[in-house]
Structure 1
Amino acid sequence: MSKILAFTNQKGGVGKTTSTANIGAGLARAGHRVVLVDLDPQANLTHGLGLADPEHNVYGALLHEYRLKAYPLQENLALVAGAPALSGFEKVKGDELDREFLLKDLLEPIQQRCDYILLDCPPALGLITLNAYACATALYIPLEAQLYATDGLDKVMEMVARVQRRVNPTLTVGGIFFTRFDGRKVLRRETAETIRDKYPGLVLEQTIRETIALGEAPHLGQDIFSYAPTSAGAADYAALVQEILTR
């Protein structure tokens, strides 16, 4: 049975999609069978990994228009495409019985065929995110160490507590990790220490430095290991994958 890891933050622009893509690619390179699922209506994960105009996507599968399809990207790595229509998911399914378990039901048939399923959640705590939390084994929260960084984090942690009580009692927070991190800046270091003190044991040791290559790779439809395997970004994500595997 595969582990389902949800990458989430109520705040946008924190490197959530970049992290989902590169951690997924890193796990695949380590020999694990990985399926990525793009749950963000912006579909940046889909476009950033070079999948243009896919015929099947997760929204159509959730509506039972067709079976779930994972498009192969490279050895051990496949992607369930996202779609802008996901923005209407709550309106379409909001009144349905057991609406928070629709994604869990959809993913069950593929759980025996892969080791990890990684969910790229939208930057909002709506029905799509609730579905992700309801089926996830663990949540990983990318975060920038800057002013107001804890605002979105606190909201995520509040929702996690509610989901644990009512929907998914086995859900855990796998870890919080810092993206676009610059240890030379005092404010970044101080903010990181504040969050480590507030959430002891949850903040991962590995940080992701801001590098040009991490920004360039999605424009060419590639993960960082394919685009710039010797870059600082590749080294950081490789180390982060190893830390996740040992938790």
Structure 2
Amino acid sequence: MQSGEQRRARAVIAIANQKGGVGKTTTAINLAAALARRGFRTLLFDMDPQANSSLSFLDPRELGPSAYELLMDGQADYSPYIYRTPVDGLEMVPARINLAKLEAKLVGDFDAPFRLKDRLEGVRASYDFILIDTPPTLGLITVNALVAATHVLIPIQSSYFALEGTDDLLETIEKVKARPNPNLRLLGVLVTLHDRRTTLARDVYEQIKRVFGDKVFETVITKSVRLEESPAYKESIFTFAPQSSGASEYAKLCDEVIERV
């Protein structure tokens, strides 16, 4: 890493898929925790008005300013918006339901797609990795994440309708690359919620590999009750169930992400 003013985050990774229930938040919180556990100073930016990433680590009753205020106000002092998590080395900008008002507020603003990118410029030098959890839409909030990112990671559930809508997502990524962010790269496609016991899941996995080729991560995230339970206890999978398959898989994904970046 470089020092001083030239030091910048190694990667800003938007975790995106307009389909809901594909493991975006599970991946955001556990990949962020894995990177922090490896010694990388990591920021998790919750851009989903549902705020599930935030609820996975923080008590909503103790939250003050959040992502909405940061994006709307843009104060020079970022400290009120950044919160420590229970994971050493991992901080986050949380979301609250008021983030749902952002698109309506920004409509017509000339800098609307660049708002997150501009705000992150003030903190990029402080982190090795910045991860952005996005909502299950292709609206202005997700576009902001893609414009601000260096990489995009796409979780795809291993199910019958796995690839439905991915054409729209890839088209959006290409439009972002065409003008506002030509340096955006597809970091990889992550197969999630995979049930190795079923023929359907295996067939879908092969179909995803045929479509995306070597962009598919070797790591596959299998269905896990432990992964579903850990956010309720405000923990990542690494402290909640360190011997579980989910902990092992997200540790391996972390290795692949570091290698690809």
TM-score bracket, normalised by the shorter chain, equals over 0.9
Aligned to 1:4: 12
8 Å contact from structure 1 (residues 145, 181) kept in 2: yes
Residue in structure 2 matched with residue 71 of structure 1 by the alignment: 83
Distance in 2, matches of 1:211 and 1:62, equals 35
Instruction: Kindly provide the amino acid, as one letter, of the partner of residue 37 in structure 2.
Output: R
- Residue in 2 that maps onto 1:52: 60
Give the distance between the partners of 1:152 and 1:78, measured in 2 at CA.
Answer: 32
Aligned residue in 2 for 1:243: 256
Which residue does the alignment assign to 1:150? Answer: 163
Unaligned runs of 5+ in 1: none
Dislocated runs of 4+, deviation >4 Å: none
Equivalence for 2:3: none
Query: Does residue 43 of structure 2 align to residue 35 of structure 1?
Result: yes
Q: In structure 1, what is the Cα distance between the partners aligned to 2:99 and 2:134?
A: 11
Q: Which residue of 2 aligns with 1:139?
A: 152
Which residue is equivalent to 1:212? Answer: 225
1:117 alignment partner, SS class: strand
Whether the aligned pair in 2 keeps the contact of 1:6 and 1:132 (CA below 8 Å) is: yes
> 1-side partners of 2:66 and 2:239: how far apart?
24
Q: TM-score, structure 2 length as denominator?
A: 0.92
The aligned counterpart of 1:18 is 26
* Structure 2, gaps ≥5 residues long: 1-7
Which range moves more in the overlay, 180-189 or 113-122? 180-189
Question: 1:140, 1:197 → 2: CA distance?
Answer: 18
Query: With structure 1 as the length reference, what TM-score do the two structures score?
Result: 0.97
Please show how residues 190-201 of structure 1 align to structure 2 within 5 Å: 190-201=203-214
Give 1:89's aligned residue: 102
| Residues 50 and 220 in structure 1, CA contact (< 8 A), matched pair in contact too | no
Q: Residue deviations 1:102-131, cap 9 Å, x none? A: 001111111001100000000000011110
Shift of 1:65: 6.7
Paired with 2:191 and 2:213, the residues of 1 have a C-alpha distance of 15
Q: Which moved more, 1:32-41 or 1:62-71?
A: 62-71
Corresponding position: 1:62 with 2:71: yes
- Counterpart Cα distance in 1 of 2:161 and 2:167: 10
Tell me by how many angstroms 1:193 deviates.
0.8
- Aligned AA (1:71): Y
1:56 partner letter: P
What is the aligned length? 247
**Residue identity opposite 2:32 in structure 1:** G
Percent identity between the aligned chains? 37
CA-CA distance at 1:211 after TM superposition: 1.1
Alpha-carbon distance in structure 1 between the residues aligned to 2:219 and 2:40? 21
Match for residue 117 of structure 1 among 115, 123, 130:
130
Give CA deviations for 1:85-104 in whole Å, capped at 9, x if unaligned.
11111110111012110001
What's 2:142 paired with?
129
- 1:50–1:222 contact (8 Å) kept in structure 2: no
Distance 2:110 2:159 in 1: 40
Is 1:169 the counterpart of 2:182 in the alignment?
Answer: yes
What is the Cα deviation at residue 203 of structure 1?
Answer: 0.7
1:152: Cα distance to partner?
A: 2.6
- Correspondence 1:203 to 2:216: yes
SS at match of 1:150: coil
